[in-house]
Amino acid sequence: MSFNKLAYDRYSVRRFSDRKVEREKLDSILEAALAAPTAVNRQPFRIWVIESPEALEKARESTHFHFHAPVIFVVGADPSAAWERPYDNRNFADVDAAIAATHMMLAIHDLGLGTTWVGHFDPACLKTPFPDMAPYDLIAMFPVGYPAQDCVPHPLHETRKPAGEIAVFL
């Protein structure tokens, strides 16, 4: 599949089947994250794979957007480990973590799974039951599973600004 076909085929999956996600596929998603480029190669991100019933129950309390997925990935950025641009001290932790997260999102689709990038969650509700997450800036949750048979893209999926509105050739 060409890259643009993969990019356009992907859509936010919000209905999942009960089928369990194989461990090799979870490992493959993590591998995709590890391949991500980061500023000065600092790799200032961490990923939690939430799969046990107890941990899933706790994680689901942090968001309405868990879609009862059988696995949830959480991606955190660590500003203390990230490169800062010297001119304006801009910290690149969230950028780096978002690149890794994007790799994961596309790999999930490539593996025949589905997900939605979820930003609407309460980080404090994750950090209390999972204290390991406390120092991190939690940038994304990915509920992951096999798409339900009747799953279709939301109409927003088709709404893309034209290139002329986004790109500026100077």
Ligand X SMILES: Cc1cc2nc3c(=O)[nH]c(=O)nc-3n(C[C@H](O)[C@H](O)[C@H](O)COP(=O)(O)O)c2cc1C
Binding residues for ligand X (CB under 6 A): 11-12, 65, 116-120, 153-154, 156-157
> Minimal distance in Å, beta carbon 114 to ligand X?
10
> Minimal distance in Å, beta carbon 102 to ligand X?
9
Pick 41 or 157: Cβ nearer ligand X: 157
Give, for 106, the enclosing helix (H) or strand (E): helix 93-110
Residues 64/69/70/72 CA torsion (nearest 10 deg)? -60
Pick 12 or 91: Cβ nearer ligand X: 12
> Minimal distance in Å, beta carbon 111 to ligand X?
17
Q: Quote the CA–CA distance of 99 and 104 in Å, as a whole number.
A: 9
Pick 102 or 128: Cβ nearer ligand X: 102
Looking up tokens 């706790």, which residue turns up?
58
Q: Quote the CA–CA distance of 72 and 62 in Å, as a whole number.
A: 12
